[in-house]
Every structure is written in C-alpha cells, then in structure tokens.
Amino acid sequence: MKKPPLIPVNVAIFIGLPLAALILVPFWGIYHGYDSFQWLWALAFLYLNGMSITGGYHRLWAHKSYQAHPALKWFFALWGAGALQNSILIWASDHRRHHRFVDDNELDPYSAGRGLWFSHIGWMLRDYDSNEQDFNNAQDLMRDPVVMFQHNHYVALTVLMNVGMPLLLGLWHGDIIGTVLLVGLLRLVINHHVTFFINSLAHYWGKRPYTESNSARDNGFLAFLTYGEGYHNYHHIFQTDYRNGIRWWHWDPTKWMINLCSRVGLASSLTRVPDFKIQRAILDTEFQRARIQLDEGDASESLRATLEREYQLFTESINQWTALQAERYERTKGQLGEALEEQKQHLQQKWEQASLRTRFKALEYSLKMQRKRLHLLMEQVQLHQAQAA
C-alpha cells in the first residue's frame, strides 16, 4: 500500500532540527563552550514549555480537569506555543480523538498499534487520513478567546518564543549563537521527544494496574522525564483527574503546579477521582487476571470458589458505594433547596455528613483489605501450580 506524501514543514521540524542539534550543539561546545547562564535558561525554558503543554494544553484544555484564571490561560498559551506542538485547538482535538479511539489504527491519530516509530513521530511526518482536522469535538475550545487568539496567531507566537526570546537572551548575555543553540534549538528538540514518549513508550513500557482495556502503561521513569505524564494507565481510565500521579510520592510536578495555582486563586474546580473508584479499578483488573491465571493453571474448585466469594463481596461493596453516592446527592440537593436552618438541624446535618464520610471510608478500607486477600489467594494458586509441576 502506497504511503501518504511527506509533509515538508514537519519533516524539517522533526527530522531536520534534531540533526542540526546533533551537529551544531557539540561543535559550538568544543569551539566556544557554554556557561551556566545558558544551561539554566535552557532548563527554565524546557520546564516552562513542557508544563504549559501538560498543565495547559493537556489537563486544562483537552480534559477540562480544572478551571483556570485568564492570566494562567494566557501564560500557558504563550509558553505552549514555544513548545512548537501546534495550537491548543489542534493539539487538544487530536488528543481527545486519541482518548476516544485509543489503539484504533484508523481513528486514533497516533495509535500505538501502528508501531513505536509511528506513535512517536511518524504520524506527524506524512499526510495520514487520521490527521484530518475535525473540530466537532472541540466546540467548547472554539468559544475560548485565549484558545482562538493563539490558534489564529500561532506562527507569530511560536517564532517569537523559539527565535525572538533566545535571541534577546543571547544579546543580553553577549553570546547569541551559544544561547540560541542551547535555549532555542537543543531545548526544543528535547521538549519534543520527552512529550512524544507519552504517545509511544508509555503505550509499550510499564505496568497496567488500573485497566488492560488499552495499551497505556504507568512508568515512573517516563513520569520523571515528562513532568508527571508517565502515569498513563491511570490517565486513560481517569482522564478528567487533574493528577496523573495520585500518590504523594508520585513525581508529578504538573499536579503540584495546578494545586499551587489553586491556592493563590489562579485555578479552581480541580477534579479529583474518589479513592474508592481507583481501588475498584485496581481490584477489577486483578480479578480479571486472577480468573485467567486460575483457568490456565487448572486450579482446584476450592480456590475458584474462594475467588468467586471475594468477587461477590467486591460487587456488594460497589453497590453499597453507589447507594451512598445517591444518598449524598439527595441530601445535598435538599440542603441547597432549603433556607437557613435552625442550629439543631444544622448539627443534625453535620452528624449525617460525618456518618456518610465514615461509611465511605469503611468501604474504601474494605476494598484495600480485599486486595490483600486476593494477593494471598494468588500466592496459593502459584504454590498449587508449582506443586502440580
């Protein structure tokens, strides 16, 4: 089958610039050298561009995981243009299609099913049908004046950030060539490829604790390189969460930035998936794996019965949680529709809310304990299989 034609501009950007960096950056380093000023500004630009993509393009605009003050939007729009990954509108529209059709080789713009090279960079080099722009999934973004201003003036903004800013820094510092090579060229190439790792490596390398319904994987090393985006298996099942790394020890500077912005009034309405839903996803995946392992290992009926009892308990916990959510919703709706209440009623409501929280916590704890029992059960299965061998 004949391949679509190459896109010359994209080939120049994504093939030509890395080759130029590979030759020119070491050459100037040997001939003239670089100093700490240039390295520090290159690192600063790298993070400003990268986190404008992760915090702005991705979590704010593509997934609406929080709301941002106009000042923060303009910041992301400007520095995001400096990342040279297309406008917010095009980037977010492509990304929404990726989530909707993940791993579909015809509809996912950068499907991992078409290979590591394709999902990393190949999809941008040729005029594939899956790259055809369709903004029907981004009507909300087309009503955002910041998004549309950046989209309509994207070329000017990206030239300003990638050429104008490094030139000004070089003039200030007294070394235009060295500053442009580090802050302009090398920084841009690195920023491109660490971002592209999420489309490629994060669908091949890592673990899938939350779902096996798609190829996305969690990888702590990639998270370190990509400002927290490497917890990709979690993200694909809970895409509206403003966090990718959900535990406090997970390296996710983007979530820390968003959280800090919320504390100073620049962000609000941060979406956070309840821990119970997270535990439910983990357990559901582990039950699926356990059933497969029991089937493959010809396990005893007693082990199968134990697994099914645990699954029934799991189902009951889910039903209780759903009922509690409905109860909390009804109470909240009732409270909003009432006028100011007497102190006695207020205290009664506080007690009921505390009771609900306690019951939610108990359900979360029950799922955690069930995970431990499931792990013990699988150890018994493995022991049984070893003895049978």
Task: Please write the tens of the pLDDT for every residue from 46-103.
Answer: 999 999 999 999 999 999 999 999 999 999 999 999 999 999 999 999 999 999 999 9
User: What is the DSSP secondary-structure string of 53-79?
Assistant: IIIIIIIIIIT--SEE-HHHHHHHHHH
pTM score over 0.85: no
Report the DSSP beta bridge partners of residue 371.
none
Instruction: Name the more confident of 290 and 311.
Output: 290
Tell me the average pLDDT across 338-360. 52
User: Which residues have CB under 8 Å from 274's CB, separation 6+?
Assistant: 360
pLDDT band at 206 (very low <50, low <70, confident <90, very high): very high
Residue 326 confidence (pLDDT) above 80: no
Tell me the average pLDDT across 258-279. 91
Determine the 3-state secondary structure of 222 from DSSP: helix
Residues constituting the chain: 389
pLDDT at 2: 78
Radius of gyration of the chain (CA): 25
Residue 304 confidence (pLDDT) above 60: yes
Tell me the average pLDDT across 130-154. 94
pLDDT at 287: 73
Question: How far apart are alpha carbons 242 and 94 in whole angstroms?
Answer: 19
Q: How far apart are the first and last CA of the chain?
A: 48
How large a percentage of the chain has pLDDT more than 70?
Answer: 75
Q: Report the run of H or E that residue 5 belongs to, with start and end.
A: none
Tell me the average pLDDT across 311-331. 62
Question: How far apart are alpha carbons 224 and 193 in whole angstroms?
Answer: 14
pLDDT at 27: 95
Q: What percent helix, strand, coil does the chain show, rounded to 5?
A: 75, 0, 25
Residue 346 confidence (pLDDT) above 60: no
pLDDT in tens, 108-120: 999 999 999 999 9
Question: How far apart are alpha carbons 363 and 369 in whole angstroms?
Answer: 10
CA dihedral over 206, 292, 282, 382, signed as positive or negative: negative
Neighbours of 334 (CB within 10 A): 10
Q: What is the DSSP letter of 118?
A: I
Helix axes 17-31, 187-199, angle to 10 degrees: 140
Tokens 């997270």 belong to residue: 278
CA 259 to chain centre: 15
pLDDT band at 274 (very low <50, low <70, confident <90, very high): confident
- Cβ distance 226 to 54 under 8 Å? yes
Residue 362 confidence (pLDDT) above 90: no
- Cβ distance 61 to 90 under 8 Å? no
Question: How far apart are alpha carbons 72 and 46 in whole angstroms?
Answer: 18
pLDDT band at 214 (very low <50, low <70, confident <90, very high): very high
pLDDT at 218: 95
